[in-house]
Amino acid sequence: MAIKSIASRLRGSRRFLSGFVAGAVVGAAGAGLAALQFFRSQGAEGALTGKQPDGSAEKAVLEQFGFPLTGTETRCYTNHALSYDQAKRVPRWVLEHISKSKIMGRFFKFTLLASLFLLSLNLHPWLVLNFWVQVTLLPQPRE
Protein backbone atom coordinates (compact mmCIF):
# COMPACT_ATOMS: atom_id res chain seq x y z
CA MET A 1 0.00 0.00 0.00
CA ALA A 2 2.74 2.43 0.96
CA ILE A 3 4.75 1.50 -2.11
CA LYS A 4 1.79 2.32 -4.38
CA SER A 5 1.29 5.75 -2.81
CA ILE A 6 5.01 6.57 -3.11
CA ALA A 7 5.01 5.43 -6.74
CA SER A 8 1.99 7.61 -7.55
CA ARG A 9 3.63 10.61 -5.88
CA LEU A 10 6.83 10.11 -7.87
CA ARG A 11 4.85 9.79 -11.09
CA GLY A 12 3.02 13.06 -10.38
CA SER A 13 6.15 14.87 -9.31
CA ARG A 14 8.03 13.58 -12.35
CA ARG A 15 5.38 15.14 -14.58
CA PHE A 16 5.61 18.38 -12.63
CA LEU A 17 9.42 18.44 -12.72
CA SER A 18 9.57 17.72 -16.45
CA GLY A 19 7.14 20.57 -17.11
CA PHE A 20 9.10 22.86 -14.83
CA VAL A 21 12.40 22.04 -16.57
CA ALA A 22 10.83 22.52 -20.01
CA GLY A 23 9.45 25.91 -18.96
CA ALA A 24 12.78 26.98 -17.52
CA VAL A 25 14.60 26.01 -20.73
CA VAL A 26 12.13 27.89 -22.93
CA GLY A 27 12.25 30.95 -20.65
CA ALA A 28 16.04 31.01 -20.58
CA ALA A 29 16.21 30.67 -24.37
CA GLY A 30 13.73 33.53 -24.82
CA ALA A 31 15.63 35.76 -22.40
CA GLY A 32 18.90 34.95 -24.16
CA LEU A 33 17.47 35.82 -27.57
CA ALA A 34 16.01 39.08 -26.24
CA ALA A 35 19.36 40.04 -24.68
CA LEU A 36 21.19 39.17 -27.89
CA GLN A 37 18.82 41.33 -29.94
CA PHE A 38 19.17 44.20 -27.46
CA PHE A 39 22.97 44.12 -27.54
CA ARG A 40 23.02 43.92 -31.32
CA SER A 41 20.73 46.97 -31.59
CA GLN A 42 22.91 48.90 -29.13
CA GLY A 43 26.04 48.08 -31.14
CA ALA A 44 24.39 49.04 -34.44
CA GLU A 45 23.12 52.31 -32.99
CA GLY A 46 26.60 53.21 -31.73
CA ALA A 47 28.13 52.37 -35.11
CA LEU A 48 25.56 54.46 -37.00
CA THR A 49 25.97 57.57 -34.86
CA GLY A 50 29.74 57.24 -34.55
CA LYS A 51 29.73 57.56 -30.78
CA GLN A 52 31.45 55.43 -28.22
CA PRO A 53 29.37 53.02 -26.07
CA ASP A 54 30.01 55.12 -22.96
CA GLY A 55 28.37 58.20 -24.56
CA SER A 56 31.59 60.23 -24.80
CA ALA A 57 30.50 61.92 -28.06
CA GLU A 58 27.36 63.26 -26.40
CA LYS A 59 29.34 64.29 -23.33
CA ALA A 60 31.75 66.21 -25.57
CA VAL A 61 28.82 68.07 -27.13
CA LEU A 62 27.54 69.02 -23.67
CA GLU A 63 30.96 70.27 -22.58
CA GLN A 64 31.60 72.20 -25.79
CA PHE A 65 30.82 75.63 -24.31
CA GLY A 66 31.53 74.73 -20.69
CA PHE A 67 29.27 74.47 -17.68
CA PRO A 68 27.85 77.46 -15.78
CA LEU A 69 29.94 78.69 -12.87
CA THR A 70 27.05 78.55 -10.40
CA GLY A 71 26.59 75.29 -8.62
CA THR A 72 29.15 73.33 -6.74
CA GLU A 73 28.28 69.79 -7.70
CA THR A 74 27.84 69.06 -11.41
CA ARG A 75 26.38 65.70 -12.35
CA CYS A 76 26.89 64.42 -15.89
CA TYR A 77 24.57 61.77 -17.28
CA THR A 78 24.36 60.21 -20.75
CA ASN A 79 22.01 62.81 -22.25
CA HIS A 80 22.08 65.73 -19.81
CA ALA A 81 24.08 67.45 -17.09
CA LEU A 82 22.78 69.31 -14.05
CA SER A 83 23.73 71.07 -10.86
CA TYR A 84 21.57 70.11 -7.89
CA ASP A 85 20.84 72.38 -4.93
CA GLN A 86 20.66 69.95 -2.01
CA ALA A 87 19.27 72.48 0.45
CA LYS A 88 16.18 73.24 -1.65
CA ARG A 89 16.15 69.83 -3.39
CA VAL A 90 15.76 71.37 -6.83
CA PRO A 91 18.15 71.55 -9.78
CA ARG A 92 19.90 74.91 -10.21
CA TRP A 93 20.46 74.40 -13.92
CA VAL A 94 20.01 71.61 -16.44
CA LEU A 95 21.95 71.30 -19.69
CA GLU A 96 20.67 69.01 -22.43
CA HIS A 97 21.70 68.57 -26.04
CA ILE A 98 18.60 68.48 -28.22
CA SER A 99 19.21 67.01 -31.65
CA LYS A 100 16.84 66.63 -34.57
CA SER A 101 16.45 62.91 -33.90
CA LYS A 102 15.34 63.63 -30.32
CA ILE A 103 12.75 66.16 -31.50
CA MET A 104 11.43 63.93 -34.26
CA GLY A 105 10.99 60.91 -32.06
CA ARG A 106 11.08 57.36 -33.20
CA PHE A 107 7.58 56.85 -34.54
CA PHE A 108 6.62 60.35 -35.73
CA LYS A 109 6.44 60.96 -39.45
CA PHE A 110 6.26 64.73 -39.13
CA THR A 111 7.77 67.27 -36.80
CA LEU A 112 5.49 69.05 -34.38
CA LEU A 113 7.67 72.13 -34.52
CA ALA A 114 7.00 72.67 -38.22
CA SER A 115 3.23 72.13 -38.12
CA LEU A 116 0.53 74.70 -37.53
CA PHE A 117 -1.77 74.46 -34.53
CA LEU A 118 -5.39 75.53 -34.30
CA LEU A 119 -7.38 76.10 -31.14
CA SER A 120 -10.19 73.68 -30.43
CA LEU A 121 -13.25 75.45 -29.08
CA ASN A 122 -15.16 72.30 -28.15
CA LEU A 123 -15.46 73.17 -24.48
CA HIS A 124 -18.15 71.86 -22.21
CA PRO A 125 -20.11 74.70 -20.53
CA TRP A 126 -19.53 73.13 -17.10
CA LEU A 127 -15.78 73.48 -17.57
CA VAL A 128 -16.11 77.15 -18.48
CA LEU A 129 -18.41 77.90 -15.54
CA ASN A 130 -16.12 76.25 -13.03
CA PHE A 131 -13.04 78.04 -14.38
CA TRP A 132 -11.60 74.78 -15.73
CA VAL A 133 -10.98 76.12 -19.19
CA GLN A 134 -9.18 73.63 -21.35
CA VAL A 135 -7.74 74.67 -24.67
CA THR A 136 -6.73 71.88 -26.99
CA LEU A 137 -4.18 72.43 -29.72
CA LEU A 138 -4.80 70.34 -32.81
CA PRO A 139 -1.96 69.84 -35.28
CA GLN A 140 -2.98 70.90 -38.75
CA PRO A 141 -1.53 68.91 -41.67
CA ARG A 142 0.86 70.85 -43.87
CA GLU A 143 -0.21 71.60 -47.40
Q: According to the model, what pLDDT value does residue 3 have?
A: 66
Interval 11-57: pLDDT, tens: 667 777 788 889 899 999 999 888 888 888 766 555 444 444 455 66
Q: According to the model, what pLDDT value does residue 132 have?
A: 45
Q: Which of helix, strand or coil describes residue 116?
A: strand
Residue 136: is its pLDDT beyond 60? Answer: no
Interval 57-114: pLDDT, tens: 666 677 777 777 776 778 887 778 888 887 888 888 888 877 766 666 555 555 555 5
* 32 burial level (CB within 10 Å; 0-12, 13-18, 19+): exposed
End-to-end CA distance of the chain: 86
Lowest mean pLDDT among 87-91, 123-127, 138-142: 138-142
**CA distances (Å), origin 4, targets 1, 9, 10, 15, 17:** 5, 9, 10, 17, 20
Residue 139: is its pLDDT beyond 70? Answer: no
